[in-house]
Structure 1
Amino acid sequence: MSSIDSSGGAGSADRPSSTPGGDVDVLAGLVTEVVVAEAAVALAEVVRVRALAAAGRFALDAAASARASARASDMAMREVASEVAAACGVSDRTVQRDIGDALTLVESYPATVAAWEAGALSRRHVRVITEVGAELPVEAREAFDAVAVSLAGEASSPGRLKTRLAVAAQRMHPRTVTERHRAGRETRCIRVVPGVDGMSDLIATLPTVLAEAIHDRVTQQARVIVDAGREARSAGGGEAG
């Protein structure tokens, strides 16, 4: 019988003193290296985001000081993105997107960025916050930012955080659910995304009630077809026998 220590677990005699193929101290050292590297990568990501946001703000401020048109502002942003892209060896389009994301993150979610920089949040937590916050109008994001950081401290995983943030965002939205649904209906559309091997994705954006009903009906029809095919094959096999 295994001995039980005071904490309720198996006694020390039952625990291996070393890991397979290596010493416990060696593994502990490797784990520490990974943790330190993860922290360094996270900090570098924050530095990059802040630098990209500063580059974007530089372009916008330069265009504003010259009283440039919206088109000129866009050109200024493209020029800055082009310089960064050339220096980093990536595409202009990628840098433009990254600058836009960085501007939104730094200027609309300062508390989130600060918590990320301090190591309190991971990149995945930050992504969840910005994804949920995108559903809110700009003027509501400052309050949402503070709530998001607070909830992130209570929710350990990004998945749990997303669930809690979705509820918070619903409560903080200045428009009612009915108003937002009415506006959302205006975005209804259907599109085809070409795939490979002669296949494509048919995507429809429509009210959830209709989407669920269509999915249920199509699923039922698919099951009927599959079952009919099985019965036909079974009948054919029986006759052959």
Structure 2
Amino acid sequence: MYAPPPILDEEVEAMLWRERESAAEGWEEPYDGPLETGPRSESRHKWDVVAMRREELLYKWERATEQIARWQGAQVRLLAEAMDLALEDGTMRDDAPLSVRNVAAELACAVGMADRTIEQRMDDALVMRDRFPQTMSALETGRLSLPHARVVVDAGVRVASPEGRASYEAAVLERAAGLTTGRLRVVATSIAEDYAPSTIAERHAEARVGRRVTLHDVDDGMTELWALLPSVLAHGIHDRLTRIARSVKDAAVGTVGAFGAFGEGEDAPDSHAGTIGLDAHDPDDRTMDQLRADAMCDLVLTGHPTIAGVDRSGGEGIDALQAIVQLTVPFQTLVGDDGPAPVLTGRAPIDPESARRLLGAATLWDRVLTDPVSGDVLAVDRRFPTEAQRRHLRARDEHCRFPGCRMPVWRSDIDHTIDHQHGGPTEHTNLAHLCRRHHTLKHHTPWQVEQHSGGVLAWTSPLGRRYIDRPPPGLRFVARE
């Protein structure tokens, strides 16, 4: 007759469990190889409690993220159905806007949200369900998160024909795996350009008419100064302000030169630039955002980065600071033929005329040869003497090569994938850009990286997961069938 096991006291049970854990940590894997005469390597424990907990957490995180995406897909479909009902009811009563507002208010009150927000989400849901069915399916099955799905829809709304949208969706979803929303937006925007009913030049000419600067007063004596500008000008302005801010920050801590934090191999500007408007011994606890704002005010109001710089030296040092705008321009577009849209590196397509004007005024520019099928960078050359490897890597990488990071190459380090001190060659097949954060992560944590052909980096996490990061051009310049 079966007798149930005795029930132990909780303290006794806890003591026995601690003993089992202690014994398990001492277990070693059996060794079947030849006997070693040298020093014995460190044995591996079969029971690694910390690694098991991290692996379990990672598994739960992935499953939770997938389930959230599925439920968000269900919400999108419900909101689209709500819009259907509202429009149907409104058509019968000849007042569709009021009907939509009525349904949105009901849904909003039920979950404690603003009815305007719900109404906008109803409209977005209807667009995703009816015009982007592949994206809707990917969301409902948990293969794509809602923020990623919105990126696909936002970039694809300009594609007019159903056939074009279907081809656009298929191309983007094929490349969406493992991309952050920021990287996916660049890819989706570039692919959508191939299916747009009008060219980027035509749309830019229309949009440029709307450029403006506006003011919006907020609380506590503050006002927002907002500008709508062509992309190349806006990014150039922001980059120049960042460089001025960095030069002031470096001067405050005694750094020599203004560009010390922007990567290897860049020449420092005029000697005044490192100390513009600031005594090298004065503390400066302003953030980069605050420094950019102060530099913009000084530049616009005085023509110089700081009042102190004007008083001391007339501001000559700032002349050495120039904004960096990196473009990728297909050759047929450069010479004036109808070709693919130029790309503001890491961002979005721009109009060809702006690209030609920038290249015409540039003192240095690269010629990038890519594979016509895969889009991989094959070679880079330049008419002016320089280090070919750096040019190749700037053209290939565009930004830090850790998965999801978008720090530009001129603010990143060039890292040996296999350390030089361990025999790694100084060749483009063993070099990649890493920002300071991920450069440190590579060298001071268990993260590991391998480089494969075409500049593909395979990162391995401390838990053994592999994450692939491909060079950006390979995601954009892929031949259409």
Secondary structure of 1:174's partner?
Answer: coil
Secondary structure of 2:124's partner?
Answer: helix
Q: Give distance in 2, aligned partners of 1:46 and 1:197.
A: 41
- Asked if 1:144 is matched to 2:168, the reply is yes
Correspondent of 1:105 among 128, 131, 144: 128
- Asked if 1:89 is matched to 2:112, the reply is yes
Secondary structure of 2:305's partner?
Answer: helix
Q: Which has the higher contact order (CA 8 A, sep 6+)?
A: 1
Q: Give distance in 2, aligned partners of 1:75 and 1:123.
A: 28
Which has more helix, going by share of residues? 1
- Greater shift after overlay, 105-114 or 32-41? 32-41
Secondary structure of 1:13's partner?
Answer: coil
- Asked if 1:225 is matched to 2:249, the reply is no
Partner amino acid, structure 2, of 1:13:
E
1:1-241 mapped onto 2 (5 Å cutoff)? 13=42, 22-64=49-91, 66=92, 68=94, 72-137=95-160, 140-153=164-177, 156-208=179-231, 211=234, 221-223=303-305, 225-228=307-310
Q: Give distance in 2, aligned partners of 1:73 and 1:98.
A: 17
Q: Give distance in 1, aligned partners of 2:102 and 2:176.
A: 37
- Is 1:125–1:161's contact at 8 Å kept on the other side of the alignment? yes
Write out per-residue CA displacement over residues 30-87 of structure 1, whole angstroms, 9 at most, x where no aligned residue.
33333322222111111111101110111112333x272xxx1110101111111122
Unaligned runs of 5+ in 2: 1-39, 242-294, 315-481
Write out per-residue CA displacement over residues 170-200 of structure 1, whole angstroms, 9 at most, x where no aligned residue.
1211112222122213333332122343121
- Is 1:188–1:204's contact at 8 Å kept on the other side of the alignment? yes
Write out per-residue CA displacement over residues 125-175 of structure 1, whole angstroms, 9 at most, x where no aligned residue.
21321232244447553442232222324x633333222222111121111
- Is 2:73–2:139's contact at 8 Å kept on the other side of the alignment? yes
- Is 2:71–2:140's contact at 8 Å kept on the other side of the alignment? no
- Is 1:151–1:165's contact at 8 Å kept on the other side of the alignment? no
Q: Give distance in 1, aligned partners of 2:153 and 2:110.
A: 28
Give the structure-2-normalised TM-score: 0.39
Q: Where does residue 3 of structure 1 map in the other structure?
A: none
Secondary structure of 2:198's partner?
Answer: coil
Which has more strand, going by share of residues? 2
Give the structure-1-normalised TM-score: 0.73
Aligned residues: 215
Percent identical across equivalent pairs? 30
Q: Give distance in 1, aligned partners of 2:132 and 2:312.
A: 55
Change (3 A) 1:151 1:209: closer
Unaligned runs of 5+ in 1: 1-10, 233-241
Partner amino acid, structure 2, of 1:73:
A
Cα RMSD after superposing both structures: 3.3
Q: Give distance in 2, aligned partners of 1:230 and 1:15.
A: 65
Larger radius of gyration: 2
- Is 2:216–2:225's contact at 8 Å kept on the other side of the alignment? yes
